[in-house]
Structure 1
Amino acid sequence: MAFSLSSLAPRLAERLGGPLPGHEAHLRMAPRYPARQADLSVDTRDCREAGVLVLLRPDDAAPCVVLTVRRDHLPDHAGQISFPGGRREPDESLSGTALREAEEEIDLSPASVDVLGALTPLFIPPSNFCVHPFVGHAPSTASLRPTDAEVGRILRVPLAHLLDPATRTTETRPLNGADVDVPYYDVAGHTVWGATAMMLAEFLAVVRDATGAAE
């Protein structure tokens, strides 16, 4: 299904104002081991709070989603794919965190972003973060660039590619001492899995609801 960002944005804002797909969507892309499947909610958590931005931008007039690639030399999570975002600062709103971090990481002006709404928060056990995703769109085609020491590359992934069922697959990985089936999105040769894939799954469910796109 072809759609422009200008027509998609108001539909997404309306859909985000209603009940969200929530953890049911997260579970589609969660690693298949019981502890992770039962441990998604941020409710009653004594956790660190973070905000991330699920950013839509035009690419050749079609919507694309912006992701970042961590540098390969980092001691933690080297090469992994994520949304722009990070830890909340004192007296800062979570949406403000997402916008500030996006500016720091990919040189995105907060004033250029229209925040359409929030997705369901997700608990990340290894880091003890409660992550709050926000969906935004930036109509400008101004270039983005890595402006943080941890960001190696910026990916602009066509939304149509992410909505294609063939993009989603599964592999077996060793996790917590066991071989676990791990769903992931194959994005330009990059493996998008874990919390990023789980949040992306809910976002794509919202897009499908808003547009009638088939799954």
Structure 2
Amino acid sequence: MIDSNHWKTFTQELREALKAESLGKSAQMEMAPLPDVSQRFDRESAKKARQSAVMILLYQDTGIVKFPLIVRPQYPGVHSGQVALPGGKYEDADQHLVQTALRETWEEIGVAMNEIEVLGELSELYVPPSNFNILPVVGILSCTPEFILQEKEVEELVIADLSVLNDKTKRKQKQMTFYSGIHVDVPYFDIQEKVVWGATAMILSEFAKIINNINSQK
């Protein structure tokens, strides 16, 4: 549980932690699909990739820190049906990638851009299958939001407790067969009985490390 004073302290500590040296590859690797993840850390490919951003949006609800995930609808594409953070590709009208994350959050789950206070960013992550380079942005809300889903972009909303990220019982592994026929060992977060894997899990792995570091200093 967290009260208003603890929430203020937590968000201040998180803001400072996000300014520190990024945990990057080492933290992301903990939830990376195996065996070969070398392409994900190819910086030259990342520079040439399509740019995108996602939002980790934190808020309090009955004294618990939560954040939304979305389930993508089924479509002909590599990320069909996956659980993801709100976000999407950079558009020419965006001033920067942080604005991309804010705009996409508004478009997909109905949280107004001016209601979100941005605390900072995590390490970028390159996704070879879709050729996107992702900037994860961390934002907070001052109140519990009323979500409005964009039905074409969002099949379902999943609300996660922040504490799940450092719950060892929620980190699992399964073998998956990709469209290329390759069998891959995939670590994932079990969140509300949803399999959260791939780039989203790698991003949340770095965020979990930051949260754990904050908690360990108390």
Q: TM-score, normalised by structure 2?
A: 0.90
Count of aligned residue pairs for this structure pair: 210
Q: CA deviation at 1:55?
A: 0.8
Q: CA deviation at 1:7?
A: 2.7
Tell me which stretches of 4 or more aligned residues in structure 1 moved more than 6 Å: none
Residue in structure 2 matched with residue 75 of structure 1 by the alignment: 76
Residue in structure 2 matched with residue 43 of structure 1 by the alignment: 43
Report whether the alignment pairs 1:199 with 2:203: yes
Q: Which runs of 5+ in 2 are unaligned?
A: none
Residue in structure 1 matched with residue 119 of structure 2 by the alignment: 116
- Given candidates 56, 62, 65, the residue that maps to 1:63 is 65
Spell out, residue by residue over 1:174-208, the C-alpha distance to the aligned partner (whole angstroms, 9 max, x if none): 23433221100001110000000000101111111
Distance in 2 separating the partners of 1:158 and 1:135? 15
* Structure with the larger helix share: 2
Distance in 1 separating the partners of 2:165 and 2:7? 15
Report whether the alignment pairs 1:152 with 2:161: no
- Would you say the 8 A contact 2:165–2:205 is kept in 1? no
- Identical residues among aligned pairs (%): 33
- Would you say the 8 A contact 2:172–2:189 is kept in 1? yes
Q: Which runs of 5+ in 1 are unaligned?
A: none
Q: CA deviation at 1:148?
A: 4.3
Residue in structure 2 matched with residue 183 of structure 1 by the alignment: 187
Q: TM-score, normalised by structure 1?
A: 0.91
Distance in 1 separating the partners of 2:136 and 2:200? 10
- Secondary structure at 2:133's aligned position in 1? strand
- Secondary structure at 1:209's aligned position in 2? helix
Report whether the alignment pairs 1:209 with 2:216: no
Which amino acid counterpart does residue 106 of structure 2 have in structure 1?
E
Q: CA deviation at 1:42?
A: 6.1
Give the alignment's Cα RMSD to 1 decimal. Answer: 1.8
Distance in 1 separating the partners of 2:149 and 2:217? 32
